[in-house]
Amino acid sequence: MIIRIDYKLYDELAAYAREHLPEEACGLIAGTEEDGERFIKKIYYLENIDHATDHFTLDPKEQMSAIKDMRSLGLKPLGNWHSHPESPSRPSVEDIKLAFDSKASYMILSLMAKEAVFNSFHVEKGEVTKEDLRIISDEYYY
């Protein structure tokens, strides 16, 4: 699975996640899907109702209004994202246990090193596969 995100959206997400340190930040991703490629068009910033440094729970009400917003914009829910303040950019044991949707992309931003690391994963029956995440710049296209 190729998954593309504009660097401006990515920068925003990374800045938001840093603002929320030491807690994990989280949200949803929406966009389009064509020929097995995903294009992230919008990132939703949701409250981590656990306010924890090592796990997250999305606010169910905010989740519903985000889904409504996606529908109104004609976007597809593509999965979710969260940050790992102090661990690598890969799903934790808990993340894998809670990854029920094999169609979703699970994106994880690690802030443990100076340079943030962002990866996207597919999780199916406890098996984790890294997706081909590409952070793109307008300049390549115009």
Cβ proximity of 47 and 59 under 8 Å: yes
Residue of the chain from 95, 99, 122, 123 that contacts Zn ion (CB under 5 A): 95
Stretch that binds Zn ion, among 1-9, 29-37, 63-71, 89-97 (CB under 5 A): 89-97
Q: Which among 6, 1, 75, 77 has a CA at the least distance from the CA of 36?
A: 1
Size of the residue set binding Zn ion (CB under 5 A)? 2
Contact status: 53 vs Zn ion (CB under 5 A): no
Contact status: 23 vs Zn ion (CB under 5 A): no
CB of 131 to Zn ion, least distance (A): 16
Residue whose tokens read 């090193």: 113
Cα distances from 75 to residues 9, 95, 124, 139, in angstroms, run 16, 25, 23, 24
Tell me the C-alpha distance between 139 and 44, whole Å. Answer: 25
Cβ proximity of 26 and 56 under 8 Å: yes
Contact status: 92 vs Zn ion (CB under 5 A): yes
Decide whether 53 or 92 has the Cβ nearer to Zn ion: 92
Stretch that binds Zn ion, among 8-16, 41-49, 63-71, 93-101 (CB under 5 A): 93-101
CB of 114 to Zn ion, least distance (A): 20
Cβ proximity of 112 and 100 under 8 Å: no
Query: Which parts of this chain interact with Zn ion (CB under 5 A)?
Result: 92, 95
